[in-house]
Amino acid sequence: EVQLLESGGGLVQPGGSLRLSCAASGFTFNTYAMNWLRQAPGKGLEWVSGISGSDGGTYYADSVRGRFTISRDNSKNTLYLQMSSLRADDTAVYYCAKDTSLMGLSYFDYWGQGTLVTVSS
Amino acid sequence: DIQMTQSPFTLSASVGDRVTITCRASQSIGSWLAWYQQKPGKAPKLLIYRASSLESGVPSRFSGSGSGTEFTLTISSLQPDDFATYFCQQYNSYSRTFGQGTKVEIK
């Protein structure tokens, strides 16, 4: 059974940093691209960042490029999102989601339960 | 980025009704479209991929159609468990984008 478990969310001040983690199990982690998506309270879904399964190629939404860094540790089956220079509009539930292909550019067949990030003073 | 526009924003329907949700893309995306269902406080659940392929385990009352820029999600006979918000998502470009969502409410 595929499981994705996010952690690391919380309250952070504007300009601060936070690192999210996503522990994956139930599939061969290094053969799939992985992604972070977010959903602001009462709003729609936004793809944030993705990373390929093999060569570690990374991709970002314009809204976070230069502030967020996605990475993965295939030996630990874990995905990360390092977030810095956080702003109020980064407040959202952040989801980890599995891609259906190695390189990405696909849809998301499994999602974690989400972790809430609140940026406020 | 490719813009995805869903209609309607909200849909009121009764159990047993046939329901159709429309999703339009700002440029052609072929058949690279997925549909998700989301319930309050839960992660989205994949229903349809490649515009019309039913994800394993999803009831057959759900179906998808379309290509290019116009797509539809149809629920043939609405069940109590189907009251939720539905999102379309394009994957023609790496910057995947979603429609704003359609909330299906009890009439």
* B9 has pLDDT over 90: yes
Which residue from B minimizes the CA distance to A45? B98
pLDDT average, residue stretch B55-77 = 97
Give dist(CA B90, CA B23) in Å, integer: 10
Give CA–CA dist A34/B91, Å, rounded: 14
Helix (H, G, I), strand (E, B) or coil at B82: helix
The residues of chain A scoring below 50 in pLDDT are none
What distance in Å separates the CA atoms of residue B58 and residue B40, rounded to the nearest whole number?
19
Mean per-residue pLDDT, B4-33: 97
Interface contact flag, A107 B46, Cβ < 8 Å: yes
Q: Residue A101: its pLDDT value, please? A: 86
Tens digits of per-residue pLDDT, A79-101? 999 999 999 999 999 999 999 98
pLDDT tier, B31 (very low <50, low <70, confident <90, very high otherwise): very high
Give the count of beta carbons closer than 10 Å to the beta carbon of residue B47.
21
DSSP letter at B57?
T
| CA–CA dist A111, B32 (Å, integer) | 19
Among chain B residues, CA nearest to A114: B43
Count CB-CB contacts under 10 A for residue A9.
17
Which residues of A fall below an 8 Å CB-CB distance to B?
A: 35, 44-47, 50, 59, 61-62, 95, 100, 104-109, 111-114
Q: What is the pLDDT of residue B73?
A: 98
